[in-house]
Amino acid sequence: MDDQTTGGLKPCTLAAQALGAGEPMTRSLVPPVHVSTTYIRDADNGYRSGYVYGRTDNVSTQQAEAVIAALEGAEEAILFGSGMAAATSVFLALDKPTHIIASQVMYWGFRSWLSEIARYGHTISFVETSDLDAVQRAIRLGETGLIWIETPSNPLWTITDIAAIAEIAHASDALLCVDSTVATPVFTQPLALGADIVMHSASKYLNGHSDVIAGALATAGRTKLWDRINVVRGRHGAILGPFEAWLLMRGMRTLHIRVKTQSAAASILAHRLSEHPAIERVLYPGLNSHPGHDVAMRQMKDGFGAMLSLQFKAGEAAAIAAAGNVRLWKRATSLGGVESLIEHRSSIEGAGSPCPSDLLRLSVGLEDIDDLYADLLRALSHAG
């Protein structure tokens, strides 16, 4: 930062000003996009600027990384070309065959990748990580090196107790990584709760506008694994490009106001829809009825996020019919943007998915809550 420090300033302030990233020559308020792939070497053969080649270093990418590190209270953050590239890099960086424990319920694409982790010499146990005893039982002393949890997790919004799992992990010399995509740094700070690494699909809330694919990792400290993750990113060419990083930084300037508004709307919709005769169950961590509500009350602040799921009394056909009759909500995969999305998850996850077939997943955007509710009510009248 040029002329301010992060000391004492609230995360919302740091994000709004992108840590003061401007450009010193023109004193531009908004930084340029640094597109150069290569940098000029000094006459004495050195690289005093610190920049050598775009596959390992880029100023625009580093500016966005600094914002994420500040929001997560991290020692360092690094950006990848997607959330999947970020998540897989952690595992590709493990230096010996490792037993991994991962949440049973989690983002489908990553669960599929992890289920084939034996290709890389590792073993995996998928465990219901909201059950602390089950996690404890799954630990293999001397073998378990990594616990990977997602909370709230797709698409049931299962809550895992980050602080409790961090204790279990550290008591057995394992590291804890948390996919905090849905919680965002606004509602949960996994590193402060004891996690070692936090991961985001920045394609979702961090960017917030459904126009960038990006992923982030942020670390509590510089460990051997972290250094290796940096090497993996450089060698595999997984760094985020400068245009995407610049857009992501622009998106993050409004992160706090977006997600707090979206979460408040999701909470209202969850309460209202709980009363609807066609709905069997609303899954939302902010509801008293949600099994993870008590833990969510402890580890989330200022909101429970803007994702909820509906289960239909009349089953799968009713869920699909309701999704087919929305006008304002968009039938699309993904989440975390300003436009509200609705999706029948089990159709996209396919055979073997733990997702119930009577479930629709809702990503609440920034439209007027009454417009969103009215559209759902009309669609639900087709739900049998």
Binding site for ligand PLP (CB under 6 A): 82-84, 107, 109-110, 150, 154, 179, 181-182, 201, 203-204, 213, 215, 335
Least separation in angstroms between CB 151 and ligand PLP:
10
- Catalytic residue check, 55: yes
Least separation in angstroms between CB 212 and ligand PLP:
9
Nearest partner of 375 among 331, 327, 343, 335, judged by Cα: 327
Rounded distance between C-alpha atoms, residue 293 and residue 47, angstroms: 53
**161, 179, 196, 375: the active-site residue:** 179
Residue nearest to ligand PLP (CB): 83
**Which C-beta is closer to ligand PLP: that of 191 or that of 335?**
335
**Which C-beta is closer to ligand PLP: that of 204 or that of 233?**
204
Determine the Cα angle at 306 with ends 325 and 7, to 5°. 155
- E strands, 168-313, are 175-179, 197-201, 215-219, 279-283, 307-312
Helices 59-72 and 242-252: crossing angle, nearest 10°?
30
The answer to whether 305 touches 263, Cβ cutoff 8 Å, is yes
**Which C-beta is closer to ligand PLP: that of 110 or that of 312?**
110
What one-character-per-residue DSSP string does 78-101 give?
EEESSHHHHHHHHHHT--S--EEE
Radius of gyration of the chain (CA): 21
**107, 161, 345, 361: the active-site residue:** 107
Strand arrangement, sheet containing 76-80: 76-80, 215-219, 197-201, 175-179, 144-150, 99-103, 123-127
DSSP state of 118: G
**Which C-beta is closer to ligand PLP: that of 84 or that of 306?**
84
3-state secondary structure of 219: strand
Contacts with 278 (C-beta within 8 Å, 6 or more apart), sequence order = 312, 313, 314, 318, 322, 380, 383, 384
Least separation in angstroms between CB 43 and ligand PLP:
42
- Catalytic residue check, 204: yes
Nearest partner of 273 among 257, 289, 297, judged by Cα: 289
Least separation in angstroms between CB 12 and ligand PLP:
23
**Which C-beta is closer to ligand PLP: that of 218 or that of 379?**
218
**55, 250, 330, 378: the active-site residue:** 55
Least separation in angstroms between CB 179 and ligand PLP:
5
**111, 204, 281, 361: the active-site residue:** 204
Rounded distance between C-alpha atoms, residue 377 and residue 326, angstroms: 9
Determine the Cα angle at 218 with ends 30 and 35, to 5°. 35
**Which C-beta is closer to ligand PLP: that of 31 or that of 190?**
190
Least separation in angstroms between CB 150 and ligand PLP:
6
- Residues identified as active-site: 55, 107, 179, 204
